[in-house]
Structure 1
Amino acid sequence: MIAPADHLTPDALERAQRHLVAKAIAEFAHERLISPERRDDGGWRLTVPLGDAEYLFDAVRAELDHWIVDEDSIRRLVRGTATDLDAQQLILELQPQLGLSDELLPLYLEEIASTLAGSMFKIAQGGPTADALADADADFQTVEAAMTEGHPGFVANNGRIGFGVSDHAAFAPEAGRPFRLVWTAARRSSSHLALGAGIDEEQLLSGELSAAERDRFATRLRDLGEDPADFHLLPVHPWQWENRVAITFAPDLARRDLVLIGESEDEYRAQQSVRTMFNTSHPHRHYVKTALAVQNMGFLRGLSPAYMRVTPAINDWVAELAAGDDTLRDAGFRVLRERASIGYTGDVYHRTAEPSAHRKMLAALWRESPVPLVSGSQRLATLASLLHRDGEGRSVVGALVRASGIPAAEWVRSALRAYLRPVVHCLLAHDLAFMPHGENLILILDEHVPTGVFMKDIGEEVALLSARTLPEDVRRIVSPVDDEEKALAIFTDVFDGVLRHLAGILHVDGVLPEIEFWRLVAETVDEHAAEHPHLDSLVDLRADSFAHSCLNRLQLRNTLRMVDLADQSSSLMYAGRLENPIGRARIPQPAARETVGG
């Protein structure tokens, strides 16, 4: 049967190309890979090193060297003649400036093609309006599936190399379609189940599976002459089963170290991260995150059994720290714990001399759902929604501000106190850094206003940036760096990775001028400092500039493996320095408050 690709149309392609070319120009200019020049009429010109093309466009240049390119204004001229926009052609024309090797060029072009395909699918889907997504009745998963941009900084951000057309329609988050997980049984001697504090295997399984399911799975094993007590239960993404497990692990299945035991009763929907699934049948049950061997944004999206072994312990340690901190608790900051994890290691790939991606094909974890943790008028929405524009170009953040009925500055101040303040506190008080981009945070909205956040993806992405004595199972997160690099956890991942985009949207939409936005950011940082005078951190978030750490440069250097996860610090690539929009020279600190009797 031939899978349809009705979304691949000339009109959809033109829109997708225009959007991606605009983003490529903006982000490559931001990372100083290209240098557009001013035209006499106030617009901009980009000449390319290969070919006879030039690009003319209008743009707003904002703080943090942020380019907001007017998509409708872009024209591509070849020897003076207007031609169609083509993101792949732009990459070819810019190859020398991008530093993209001939060897990796086709792979990057494929990721661009896949990103265009995903964009065309989203265009064909339509999607809710910004006002609908901002509405108090907007469903958590409706908002999740409506996201169209992917990572706001990466140009090739929707690769998913390995997904076919029918796979995309079935399993992509924007498809919003429910599906069932595949359950396998993994022999205990060839697998490892790790459990967080206060939960055992029986509690985990009884909470995630019905009694009828467990009986059905046990019967399947007994019918094969196996004892169910000799096996762990391991969930697998249906794509992974079909494309990798049943083939790559054929010997393991034949000798019954792995056994296919059936589908889940519950239905799940993919989240923005693709390999994490939300339980739509029972939303209070855990998310399930599984290995998924598709290539996307510089990584094969597997899941390492070695990493999974200590994931619950890391989550327990971080959760205990957060729960015991008054500042984090008062800010409404909570982590969604990864309560259990499992990995299969009985395969031949775990016996090779060198590790490989094949060792990351069979693992899973269970993460808390935020649904039972909110109540009353509170509702949930991904942080990514604050950077989302609907099909007509209207922003969700603008719609939320309008719906809240409060001044924009007051709304932004609340959002910063819910999002920025706790991650600043984690860094300054605990040397703890997260990866707090849009997909990794869930906002708690009350009356359309952010009042708290849930941080997730703790086990793989949290880091302790100083040398410290920790329990053995938690030591993996220790990654000491100097104070200037510590500050990049805020400067790069928050200011550059999230807030420059948010400030730009609010500014060009006329909701809040960017100078006022960054004053509110400075106010948030200063208020935290004033309320915590005894913190001895030497991290300076009001420094006048900081190193410009670049994401696209990492992907262009090696689209197959952007960074060494065991040593991320040494993998970073820089392009000079960025002026800090809240640097003291830009926004002076407030005069010290007088103290009684001082």
Structure 2
Amino acid sequence: MKICDTPLTMLTEENWIHADKQLLAKMLQEFIYEEIFVPDVLSEENGIRTYKWEDKKGTVYHFQAKTRLFDSVSVLPDSIRILKNDDKDIPIALSLLLSIQEEGKMSGSTTGHLVREYLHTLLADTHIQEKSKTAEKLVYLDYAELEGEMTGHPWITYNKGRIGFGYDDYVQFAPEQKKQVNLSWIAIHKNIGTFHSVEELSHDQVIDQELGEEARQQFTKRLQAMNVQPEHYYFMPIHLWQWNQSIVPMFAAEIAKQELIPLGEGGDEYLPQQSIRTFVNMSNKEKYHVKLPMSILNTLVYRGLPGERTVIAPEVTTFMKNILENDSFLKDECRLGLLGEVATMNVDQPTFQAVKGAPYQYLELLGVVWRESIYNELKDEEQAITLASLLHVDHEGTPFVSKLIEKSGLTVEEWVNKLAKAILPPLLHYLYQYGTVFSPHGQNTVLVLKDYMPERTIMKDFVDDVNVSDQPFPELKGLSDRMKQVLRSEEPEGLTQFILTGLFICHFRYLSDILEEKEGFSERTFWGIMRGEILSYQQRFPHLQERYQLFDLLRPTFTKLTLNRNRMFDYGYEDDDDRPHASEFGVVTNALHAGVAEKTGKVEAK
């Protein structure tokens, strides 16, 4: 692509200024939540505070914000005023970052890399403004297409950094570009690659479904023409970007020895999802969703596939599904859906494996996860949406969730009650009865609607986000030694954090804000409904009382996990042998604690 052919029409001054102001507002409110800076409160009236913060260079930030539960605020973008800002050519969002650096807690190296992630995020935000659909149109979109309309992580401020992508890569592969792609295929010699699956599934069955007979024969003939034995090889898909950026340079020896052979492109069209590395087959929606490693740095981590977790993903799937199939509450009452990771492949780079303390990104280069299709899980008249979509507000200021509520014919309170009933009971049951958690943030949780009303939940992403209790529960005795070694084993508060932070802080904190701001629905009532649903569950299963105290979701405070602070101060851009985890800083007041949330007519547990 020549430079004058570069698609730049969305890069107008108006779009840039709007994206910059919105990002600054997000940074202000999340930095206040994480106590990255502590502004002075000049006044407060009707729940709106006027703030002032002055950096060490004399730049003054004036803004207003509405106070929210969970010690949060919602900044009003149009209220922001910056005084004595000498850096007129610097985006205002990045001026705040430089002001934070002046406080002396962030290195020049970290700040410089972070500037790059923010600039990438701003560029993506200008694209999204130009291509966004109205909430009215979004309610009719297919699940896979809706994911391409999302705007990124609600809490992490540098949420579309995607370090490793060039602009041409961004235009071709970013989910918000909504471009369907063909997956490439390679042959992996069985000496260097491993295949793993649930008991009833073989590699041949997977390939027969995913490739089809014609493509499989074509690839087999290519191997025969190279004078190698096809039966000595596995077939596996790969992303073109990963092939060019990581596989050819770092698996050159394996290519030279014909242990890794490029085969060509498959015929099916795939649509990238929010995570960028997961793809839905749009040519045949009943085929597997495909998760592939892409060694880009985005929202804290490199987006590879950890080898040890990829290997055991089918075993984790079997464990989680056995719980579901043998528990009538989960299966028949909650009607929980699980998208199993039924087959995987892993290929280690041998030299990196031999390096002690090698950066984790080099241990996640080549593999694949075949996940069951969401479309095979849906019943008649059911519609699946990513939970993240409930936080989407269109360019006209209309929330997606408002349109769903309007079309459902329910009141906001009735709709939120159904939402709580659809999501919380299965998550609580896995936690309390089985000492096991998903990470139920907006990207992993699929909300199933019927007539625009919350009906039930489908969970996904077991390879990264299933974790177990460190307590000696009899329900966990069936874990194999390999699973015990690989799955994260968490102490009680750490395990509850996957719900407290993953769902409540990372998602419902924003949803309750939207509903109060746009629908006039009190956030205290919202959290009262969530508290009531937890209490109703606890009354239903009184034999778990000790575990309710152990995994206390209703405590007055809990440890505050921070995501922006992790990058800025704690982990930075280090290249360690393990993925960075959320930092801990201070405590947060729990909106689910008695006396915070309003009574909603639910009976309190005895």
TM-score, normalising length from structure 1?
Answer: 0.93
1:2 and 2:2 matched = yes
CA shift at 1:165, angstroms?
A: 1.4
Indicate if the aligned counterparts of 1:131 and 1:396 stay in contact, CA closer than 8 A: yes
Indicate if the aligned counterparts of 2:187 and 2:262 stay in contact, CA closer than 8 A: yes
Q: After TM superposition, list the pairs within 5 Å mapping 1:333-348 onto structure 2.
A: 333-345=336-348, 347-348=350-351
Quote the residue 1:62 is aligned against.
68
Amino acid at match of 1:295: L
Q: After TM superposition, list the pairs within 5 Å mapping 1:500-515 onto structure 2.
A: 500-515=509-524
**CA shift digits 1:105-160 (9 cap, x unpaired):** 211111111111111111122x21112212xx322222111111x11111111111
Q: 2:530 aligns with which of 509, 521, 524?
A: 521
Amino acid at match of 1:382: T
Q: 1:128 aligns with which of 133, 155, 162?
A: 133
Q: 1:96 to 1:418 in 2, by over 3 A?
A: farther
Q: After TM superposition, list the pairs within 5 Å mapping 1:230-249 onto structure 2.
A: 230-249=232-251
Q: After TM superposition, list the pairs within 5 Å mapping 1:24-423 onto structure 2.
A: 24-40=27-43, 42=45, 43-78=49-84, 86-97=92-103, 99-125=105-131, 127-134=132-139, 137-148=140-151, 150-329=152-331, 330-345=333-348, 347-356=350-359, 357-423=361-427
**CA shift digits 1:423-446 (9 cap, x unpaired):** 122211111121111111111110
Quote the residue 1:488 is aligned against.
497
Q: Which 10-residue stretch deviates more, 421-430 or 468-477?
A: 468-477
CA shift at 1:85, angstroms?
A: 5.3
Q: 1:320 to 1:409 in 2, by over 3 A?
A: same
Amino acid at match of 1:558: Y
Amino acid at match of 2:460: K
Superposition misfits of 4+ residues, deviation over 6 angstroms:
79-84
**CA shift digits 1:368-410 (9 cap, x unpaired):** 1110211221111110000111112211111111111011111
Structure 2, unmatched stretches of 5+, are none
Q: 1:61 to 1:169 in 2, by over 3 A?
A: same
Quote the residue 1:445 is aligned against.
449
**CA shift digits 1:153-190 (9 cap, x unpaired):** 11111111111112111110000100111100011011
Distance 1:427 1:510 in 2: 32
Q: 1:341 to 1:48 in 2, by over 3 A?
A: farther
Amino acid at match of 2:211: L
Indicate if the aligned counterparts of 2:270 and 2:280 stay in contact, CA closer than 8 A: yes
Indicate if the aligned counterparts of 2:358 and 2:576 stay in contact, CA closer than 8 A: no
Q: 1:565 to 1:326 in 2, by over 3 A?
A: farther
CA shift at 1:352, angstroms?
A: 3.0
Distance 2:505 2:386 in 1: 18
Distance 2:85 2:121 in 1: 29
Indicate if the aligned counterparts of 2:538 and 2:605 stay in contact, CA closer than 8 A: no
Q: 1:277 to 1:577 in 2, by over 3 A?
A: same
Indicate if the aligned counterparts of 2:346 and 2:368 stay in contact, CA closer than 8 A: yes
**CA shift digits 1:85-111 (9 cap, x unpaired):** 521221011125583222222111111
Q: 1:581 to 1:304 in 2, by over 3 A?
A: closer
Amino acid at match of 1:172: A
Where 1:443 maps in the other structure, the secondary structure is: strand
Indicate if the aligned counterparts of 1:88 and 1:109 stay in contact, CA closer than 8 A: yes
Distance 2:86 2:188 in 1: 64
**CA shift digits 1:308-327 (9 cap, x unpaired):** 11111111111211232223
Indicate if the aligned counterparts of 1:60 and 1:67 stay in contact, CA closer than 8 A: yes
CA RMSD between the two structures: 2.3
Where 1:189 maps in the other structure, the secondary structure is: coil
CA shift at 1:560, angstroms?
A: 3.2
Indicate if the aligned counterparts of 2:468 and 2:495 stay in contact, CA closer than 8 A: no
Q: Which 10-residue stretch deviates more, 190-199 or 485-494?
A: 485-494
Indicate if the aligned counterparts of 1:57 and 1:70 stay in contact, CA closer than 8 A: yes
Amino acid at match of 1:51: K
Amino acid at match of 1:142: E
Q: Which 10-residue stretch deviates more, 515-524 or 555-564?
A: 555-564
Q: Which 10-residue stretch deviates more, 555-564 or 545-554?
A: 555-564
**CA shift digits 1:472-509 (9 cap, x unpaired):** 34224554444333332222112211111111110111
Q: Which 10-residue stretch deviates more, 356-365 or 334-343?
A: 356-365
Where 2:457 maps in the other structure, the secondary structure is: strand
Indicate if the aligned counterparts of 2:349 and 2:363 stay in contact, CA closer than 8 A: no
Amino acid at match of 2:531: A
CA shift at 1:235, angstroms?
A: 1.0
**CA shift digits 1:294-317 (9 cap, x unpaired):** 111221111133321111111111
Indicate if the aligned counterparts of 2:440 and 2:499 stay in contact, CA closer than 8 A: no
Indicate if the aligned counterparts of 1:297 and 1:559 stay in contact, CA closer than 8 A: no
Where 1:58 maps in the other structure, the secondary structure is: strand
Indicate if the aligned counterparts of 2:29 and 2:75 stay in contact, CA closer than 8 A: yes
Where 1:342 maps in the other structure, the secondary structure is: strand
Distance 1:107 1:68 in 2: 27
Quote the residue 1:554 is aligned against.
566
Indicate if the aligned counterparts of 1:76 and 1:83 stay in contact, CA closer than 8 A: no
Q: 1:97 to 1:510 in 2, by over 3 A?
A: farther
Q: 1:414 to 1:40 in 2, by over 3 A?
A: closer
Amino acid at match of 1:9: T
CA shift at 1:40, angstroms?
A: 4.2
Indicate if the aligned counterparts of 2:408 and 2:451 stay in contact, CA closer than 8 A: yes
Amino acid at match of 1:120: T
Q: 1:102 to 1:35 in 2, by over 3 A?
A: same
CA shift at 1:55, angstroms?
A: 1.9
Indicate if the aligned counterparts of 1:257 and 1:346 stay in contact, CA closer than 8 A: no
Q: 1:172 to 1:499 in 2, by over 3 A?
A: same
| Paired-residue identity, % | 27
Distance 2:305 2:490 in 1: 26
Distance 2:596 2:44 in 1: 29
Quote the residue 2:469 is aligned against.
465
Q: 1:353 to 1:522 in 2, by over 3 A?
A: closer
Q: Which 10-residue stretch deviates more, 196-205 or 514-523?
A: 196-205
Q: 1:278 to 1:483 in 2, by over 3 A?
A: same
Where 1:183 maps in the other structure, the secondary structure is: strand
Distance 2:226 2:576 in 1: 44
Q: 1:181 to 1:478 in 2, by over 3 A?
A: closer
> In the comparison of the two structures, how many residue pairs are matched?
587
Structure 1, unmatched stretches of 5+, are none
Distance 1:342 1:573 in 2: 32
Q: 1:544 aligns with which of 556, 559, 564?
A: 556
